[in-house]
A and B are shown apart, each in its own frame.
Chain A
């Protein structure tokens, strides 16, 4: 470990505690607000008071809670995924979907929906398979030494994604009636059907990935200093790169298979925190997990409460907030 460990530990703790507070506040807000009305007091009494099983209690614990946790997990995964990909590919525009994860998952999901499978576990499994297959394809395309060349991965990812969108368009053009709605909602990102079992299963998959990436965060710092530097520090670049790529792709495809394509989170959150906290990944990784989760929970609150009737797909909100925010951040960092 570095000699300056105590200092970094202090920063890490401060940032984590602050952002964990923000995440908890966002989650409290998420539990309090919904299409059937807003009540902070109900959540408070439900949390700390005597256990009652009123209708509002049922809504809060069995409808809103799984959804809020799902949103936090998805936001954390996408932000952390963005952070890792931006470090690995050394490209500020890299995002978790870059390796064709979104495209492959979308094809898998659409095939699942067309086959009439239920959302969980049916469609989740087909989309998970789809994204893992494209990941293997891309790793296959860029095998050998070129795995370490950031551009070859980036380019094959972009191309595989483009090919996948063509297949998606083809499948959508074949689809009619009711199924089209589910497909389009899935493509726009949808958190509405999360159940506590699904969310629990997802967190079991994601938490080890979070820990592994956090454990490798100092290695990411060294990777960013350049290959020679990293090698002299005794890092097996190839092994670390592959581990990070596969872990990130795995956790991103797990979330995508649950709630569709949610864009811009993986782009905006890492940039925001890098601007705010500096380039140290040991601080950035937990910041992205906690802050990305909070951001997503808030986006989901907006998606649920903004429309007068029904709800918006959360992907629409993240893109509408994310794109302008990203431009703003770019202009700030350019100065």
Chain B
């Protein structure tokens, strides 16, 4: 009891004391993890610590503020020309500090907490966001938009996303059958996606049934398990290019009693549309509807 009281008091004191460090024109905001962050009033130098955050900053039209991005920030194309600060999982502290950012934007899942703490110890504020599905991507857009004084732009993007999502919802609302989808994100071993992933949300929203749903985020499968599940649609996202895809597809194709093989419903998709929770998730959703419910598009044509 006494111990928890002491801990509580300590946290309270830190909470109260934090604003004392802030300059007159600084803002104190709470980030999406509930941490209090002191944001300098004139933000001009930003480092995005993950590719999806880079995308969000570009979407908000604030790419001129970006002085550093992570190694695999390859979308949009212009992001490739911004100085790199290591991969999101293994950040190069020295490069980040050398860029003298006013603020770093971090993600909860991925950026190591030790690195974030060291950045803060070195006097660089870190604002953490947690985009992991459609709703939280939109929330991230609004919050980062507020931070970067791009509130209107953020609202526009979110409104557009909501419009497109409800269009998809309306399309699949009356479908007769929900095809059984096996979504494969790894080739060897075969890895699929559990219920708490954003791809699961997209598959379900696009009117499919995720065969790998369950508590494990990224469950592994043996080939015989997949065949036993008899998927109607197999979607593979892979960084491997076309040639490799033909190989993977022909491997599945020998199992002719799998429905997906009979109806030729094995698809490969560019992985970077599906591997990062950014506003492009809506694009991914629209792609999935076409793959899972092609009949909806035949009717409207």
The chain A residues found within 8 Å of chain B, CB to CB, are 34-37, 55-56, 58-59, 62-64, 118-120, 176-178, 181-182, 185, 192-193, 195, 304, 309-311
Q: Kindly state the separation between the CA atoms of A222 and B126 in the bound complex, as whole angstroms.
A: 58
Residues from chain B with Cβ under 8 Å of A119 in the complex:
112, 114
Given known contacts A59-B97, A62-B122, A310 and B90 CB-to-CB distance under 8 angstroms: yes
Q: Pick from A56, A195, A309: contact of B118, CB below 8 A.
A: A195
Chain B proximity of A252: nearest CB distance (Å): 23
Residues from chain A with Cβ under 8 Å of B123 in the complex:
58
Q: Mark B100-123, 1 if CB is under 8 A from A, else 0.
A: 100000000110111100100111
Contacts A185-B90, A195-B118 given; 7 further ones with Cβ under 8 A? A34-B94, A36-B94, A56-B98, A62-B122, A63-B97, A193-B115, A193-B118
Q: Is B296 part of the binding interface, using a Cβ–Cβ cutoff of 8 Å?
A: no
Residue of A nearest to B117 (CB): A118
Chain A proximity of B81: nearest CB distance (Å): 14
Q: Is B93 part of the binding interface, using a Cβ–Cβ cutoff of 8 Å?
A: yes
The chain B residues found within 8 Å of chain A, CB to CB, are 71, 84, 86-87, 89-90, 92-95, 97-98, 100, 109-110, 112-115, 118, 121-123, 191, 217-218
Q: Point out which of B92, B115, B118, B123 has the most chain A C-beta atoms below 10 A from its C-beta.
A: B92
Residues from chain A with Cβ under 8 Å of B115 in the complex:
193
Q: Pick from B84, B94, B112: contact of A64, CB below 8 A.
A: B94
Q: Pick from B95, B98, B113, B191: contact of A118, CB below 8 A.
A: B113
Chain B proximity of A55: nearest CB distance (Å): 5
Chain B proximity of A225: nearest CB distance (Å): 48
Q: Kindly state the separation between the CA atoms of A63 and B100 in the bound complex, as whole angstroms.
A: 14
Q: Kindly state the separation between the CA atoms of A63 and B94 in the bound complex, as whole angstroms.
A: 7
Is B110 in contact with A178, judged by CB distance below 8 angstroms? yes
Q: Kindly state the separation between the CA atoms of A31 and B279 in the bound complex, as whole angstroms.
A: 42
Is A36 in contact with B90, judged by CB distance below 8 angstroms? no
Q: Kindly state the separation between the CA atoms of A71 and B149 in the bound complex, as whole angstroms.
A: 44
Is A35 in contact with B94, judged by CB distance below 8 angstroms? yes
Is B90 in contact with A35, judged by CB distance below 8 angstroms? no
Q: Kindly state the separation between the CA atoms of A311 and B92 in the bound complex, as whole angstroms.
A: 8
Q: Point out which of B86, B114, B217 has the most chain A C-beta atoms below 10 A from its C-beta.
A: B114
Given known contacts A176-B217, A182-B89, A185-B90, A36 and B95 CB-to-CB distance under 8 angstroms: yes
Q: Point out which of A55, A63, A182 has the most chain B C-beta atoms below 10 A from its C-beta.
A: A63
Is B100 in contact with A55, judged by CB distance below 8 angstroms? yes
Is A120 in contact with B122, judged by CB distance below 8 angstroms? no
